Amino acid sequence: MLRGDKVGLRARHDEDVPVLRTELYDDVVNASRAESAPWRPLTPGTKDPRLVVDEKAQGYVPFSVVELEGGTLVGEATLWGIDNHNRFAHLGLGLLPSCRGKGYGTDVVAVLCHYGFVVRGLHRLQVETLADNAAMLRAAERNGFVREGVLRSSAWVMGEFLDEVLLGLLARDWAPGRSA
């Protein structure tokens, strides 16, 4: 398990899947805001790669996020679109509704940066998030990410186009422990 100050990132367990499906993917509004594709229901027992880990998919690394105190599941985190040639990846996270606003997001981003830069040897990490996602913007910026641009009206979400913010962080600019 990778450890932050408040959370740990560990492998996905079978018992995590129904909780993540119910709390994150069955929530149409939040799932629509988090995905770049239209929302669709996931059936019980699905092999959807957002839930069930495909050990052969090298460009996508999903984690379950747990509280260090007690080990309670609080969400998920991913490093995705991993490009080993250019040493680049995207990161993302989703916290269960009851676990938002507790500082977990900032800690998750810090642990993902450690994984990306130290464990994987990547050169660049990138975040794309909706312009009104203040929590993700704050979590990324607290960890040193820099706003690099706005993609105007680039995301179709629940009947309207929304702006996305692009943030980037280079390994040479990363300062471990910045978020603490």
Average pLDDT over residues 105-116: 98
> Does the pLDDT of residue 84 top 90, yes or no?
yes
> Does the pLDDT of residue 41 top 60, yes or no?
yes
Question: 2-124 domain in CATH 3.40.630.30?
Answer: yes
Question: What gap in Å lies between CA 11 and CA 26, rounded to an integer?
Answer: 22
Average pLDDT over residues 95-101: 95
Amino acid at 14: D
Q: Where do the domains of the chain lie?
A: 2-124
Question: What gap in Å lies between CA 140 and CA 83, rounded to an integer?
Answer: 20
User: Using one digit for the tens of pLDDT, what is the confidence trace for 125-162?
Assistant: 999 999 999 999 999 999 999 999 999 999 999 999 99
* E strands in 26-159: 60-67, 73-83, 88-95, 124-130, 146-157
Question: What gap in Å lies between CA 154 and CA 157, rounded to an integer?
Answer: 10
Structure tokens at 133: 């996602």
* Global confidence as pTM: 0.90
